[in-house]
Amino acid sequence: MNRRIPLRKRFRVHTLLLIALCGWLLMLHLTLLLNHGLNAPLNGVGDIYLSRNAETASANAVTTVVVSYRGFDTLGEVTVLFLAATGVGMLFAGGLGATPAFRDRNSQPNEVMVTGTRLLFPTLLLLGIYIVLHGHLSPGGGFQGGVIVATAFFLRMIADSNFNLDHAQLGWVESFAGSSFVLFGMLGLVFVTTASFLGNFLPHPIAAMGQLVSAGVIPLIYLFVGIKVGAEVGAIFQDMLESNSASSAEEH
């Protein structure tokens, strides 16, 4: 089909030339910058965090940075995710579907989908919970595990048209997790031993590093982040599916 159109019409030549120019300039710039940056002796914030990381007794230094050293940043990040989920819910629940595109969403999902989901759902759920709980020991954590749990429920929603997540319940779970995060941060502020927001007020002996129950408050906070992210992403999926089924219901 494309064979009749000449090559120069399939691409936008001016745009392509502009991109090539931009790429060349950025490459030059980065070469200059990196020659200065990478040859210098590495003694940045990251090395100081790494050398002090043992004080938190968390085996995963990335988790320490995300939850402990930059915990306030993570609180803001979770808030942005919450706002986006609210925005998606508002856009789809507003009843704007004036001229919905016709699509047969009420057709039954096929057998492969249903059986595969039946097989995958418990496995994905277990994997997600494992990743959330081992955030301070292995790669992963609340964000990744929460998204995996939400994906498990999303598969379930596609495979079974009667399966729905209740928005009110999701809202409660989300508010519980969010307020627990803030509460734990406040508790760190209240206790005299830490006296800082998100301070690690639970006992965290260095000897226990690498065990499941270690690092004090870090795994608990990451668990709350996981619950919150799972509920929010689940709500986004539910909104998108609901809008489709609503518009096709109007159509029929």
Partner 1 sequence: MLNFLDTPAVLHSIYLIGSLILFFIGLYGLLAKRHLLKIFVSIEIMELAVYLILIAIATTSGETAPILSDGLTAFTGMSDPIPQALTLTAIVIGVAVTALGTSMAIQYHRLTGKVSVTEMTELKD
**Which spans of this chain sit near partner 1 (rule: CB under 8 A)?**
11-12, 15-16, 18-20, 22-23, 26-27, 30, 34, 38, 42, 44-47, 49-51, 53-54, 59-62, 64-66, 70, 73-74, 77, 80-81, 83-85, 87-88, 91-92, 96-101, 137-139, 141, 143, 209-210, 229, 233, 236, 239-240, 243, 247
Task: Write down the least CB distance from residue 118 to partner 1, Å.
Answer: 27
**Rounded Cα–Cα distance for residues 160 and 219 (Å):** 34
178-181's contacts with Cβ under 8 Å and 24+ in sequence apart are: 178/78, 178/82, 178/224, 178/228, 180/224, 181/75, 181/78, 181/221, 181/224, 181/225, 181/228
* Choice between 1 and 96, CB closer to partner 1: 96
Q: Residue 222 in contact with residue 135, Cβ under 8 Å?
A: yes
* Choice between 10 and 162, CB closer to partner 1: 10
* Choice between 117 and 214, CB closer to partner 1: 214
**Rounded Cα–Cα distance for residues 219 and 148 (Å):** 18
Task: Write down the least CB distance from residue 161 to partner 1, Å.
Answer: 20
Say which residue the tokens 């057709």 belong to. 107
Task: Write down the least CB distance from residue 135 to partner 1, Å.
Answer: 11
Task: Write down the least CB distance from residue 76 to partner 1, Å.
Answer: 9
Task: Write down the least CB distance from residue 88 to partner 1, Å.
Answer: 5
* Choice between 24 and 108, CB closer to partner 1: 24
CB atoms within 10 A of CB 238: 22
- The DSSP code for 206 is G
